[in-house]
Amino acid sequence: RKPNNFPPGPKWLPIIGCAWELSNLHKAKGSLSEVAQELALKYGSVIGTKVGRTLTVFVYGTKAYKELLSKDDLNGRPDDIFSTSRTLGKRREQKKFLMRHLKETVFNKIVLEEILAEQVHTIIHDIKKTIESDGVICITNLFPVHALDSIYILMTGDKCSDQEMEELHKVMTSFSENISSTGMLFSHFPFLRYICPDYCGYNTYVNIHKKILAFISKKVKILKEICGPQPSRGFIQAYLEKINSVKGQSDFSEEELLAMCLDLLAAGFDTTSNTLGFTFLYLLLHPEVQERAQEEIDSVIGKGRPPTLEDRPQLPYVESIVLESIRLITSRSLALPRRAIRDSTLNGYFIPKDTILQGSVRGTFFDESTGWKNPEVFNPDRFMKDGNLCIPDTFIPFGSGKRRCVGEIMARANIFLIVACLLQTFNFRSLPGSPPKADFAEDFSPAVKPFKAFVTLR
Ligand code: HEM
């Protein structure tokens, strides 16, 4: 039965709850974020549903979403089968340690520049090689290895060998293609894993996670053996040092370390490379935006040296392209699922303990009433005012509060540097007679379907 004052929403059927209606809406709309938008039009900004046995509340719209992010009672990690079967049991909250480490090491401007510049150089080298043949490049293939390498360096302090990268890339691609961040059939109907573990996705889910954890575990073992007294910039080494220093008298453990590295890979891999896919798709569809960015780069930097992170304040238009691409990709996804850790309220409705809350950032920056004009259109100028960068308060694509993205600094720097360096060196054009379509897929995070471009040296 529906709890008293539970948010309004679609009708609950016996056993499946609203699963049928949600699944049909998902097929019709293409992304869960658009499902939330559709439901919000009918029921308001907080929508109560039930999928299998799980109470799930969708949150859409700036006011309700901000209230959700601000309430500790509603920001717990889910502890259902979907969460626990991937990370070896319950999780403790050690995000502060990770954030402090990243701030002191990798997110230090000089280190970040060093990590990213080398990789951008490799991408430029690869593109130049293709130009020597026919200049036709599958754009969506350019970025995944690069994004993985950045996260690998963040974890280990070192570059990934070719052999390790082959292994990691294979398993992470399979992760992105087969696993949905918002749950799978077995997580909504946990009993199915005993009846049809292949069909409900349980076996795939567990096997892929086992492979990723085995990869990280192998690396942890190697780094443990060479762990020395000198400070290292890798997260794994910093964490191992912490375990040693507290000597088993705290929650720091190797299991927790593996789970945190898994989160970094899962959350940072295709979000970064897929955003770059979005960026270059829109640059092909809007050659005038590409030309204006190139004019900015030419006038501030010229061609004598590559752009650096120091140049960011002088390249507001390039920065606005990055923000607009992030706006468009995140508007197709939901924020991380949260769990009510005790009975609470949202927008005046009752939210029982253990309800799952799915917030949609789309509602915060696709809302014409809060100033986002023609939100479906790619328009970097919405982030510009009088020639300067201007970011509205309602733009929170990396979340805020307890569950906020830990990789924002790296992701924005990475995308900025790639866009600036590639546009300084190359022109990207549609293949004659076949401009790419704005065709989307839903991998672990939203993606554009693979597309090619004709690239020439400037
Ligand atoms: C354009 C790229 C990226 C986008 C758009 C993005 C976006 C997000 C969003 C929306 C969330 C959830 C926030 C919430 O629910 O309130 C999140 C969480 C997270 N992100 Fe990112 N992210 C990106 C890149 C990265 C990178 C490169 C890393 C790692 C280096 C990373 C690590 C994480 C982690 C670990 C979490 C989970 C935080 C938690 O559980 O508390 N992200 N990200």
Instruction: Determine the residue of 319, 398, 409 to mutate for testing ligand 1's pocket, defined as the one with the most ligand atoms within 8 A of the Cβ atom.
Output: 398
Q: Is the pLDDT of residue 229 over 60?
A: no
HEC letters along 35-98 = HHHHHHHHHCCEEEEEECCEEEEEEECHHHHHHHHHCHHHCECCCCHHHHCCCCCCCCCCHHHH
Residue 402 has a pLDDT of 79
Lowest-pLDDT choice from 214-218, 267-271, 301-305: 267-271
Q: What spacing in Å lies between the alpha carbon of 321 and ligand 1's midpoint?
A: 19
Q: Please work out whether the CB of residue 426 comes within 6 Å of at least one atom of ligand 1.
A: no
- The answer to whether the CB of 205 is under 6 A from ligand 1 is no
Tell me the CA distances in angstroms from 73 to 68, 338, 401, one per residue in order.
9, 10, 12
Work out the number of other CB atoms within 10 angstroms of the CB of residue 245: 10
Q: With cut-offs at 50, 70 and 90, classify the pLDDT of residue 31.
A: confident
Cβ–ligand 1 distance for 411 under 6 Å, the answer yes
The pLDDT of residue 232 is above 70: no
pLDDT band at residue 90 using 50, 70 and 90 as cut-offs: low
Closest atom of ligand 1 relative to the 403 alpha carbon = 41
18 is in an annotated binding site: no
Neighbours of 196 (CB within 10 A): 13
Complex ipTM over 0.95: yes
Which residues make beta-bridge pairs with 345? 350
For residues 347 and 195, which has the higher predicted lDDT (pLDDT)?
347
Our answer on whether the CB atom of 26 is closer than 6 Å to any ligand 1 atom is no
Which long-range contacts link 390-398 to residues 24+ away (Cβ below 8 Å)? Answer: 391/323, 392/365, 394/62, 394/364, 394/365, 394/367, 394/370, 395/323, 395/327, 395/364, 395/365, 396/69, 396/361, 396/364, 397/326, 397/327, 397/330, 397/361, 397/365
pLDDT digit string, tens, across residues 176-193 = 888 877 777 777 677 777
Residue 418 beta carbon below 6 angstroms from any ligand 1 atom:
no
pLDDT at 377 over 60: yes
Give the pLDDT score at 215. 95
pLDDT for 88 equals 58
Chain Cα centroid distance, residue 126? 25
Q: In the structure, what pLDDT confidence band is assigned to residue 325 with cuts at 50, 70 and 90? A: very high
Q: What is this structure's pTM?
A: 0.91
Least confident range of 78-87, 169-178, 197-206: 78-87
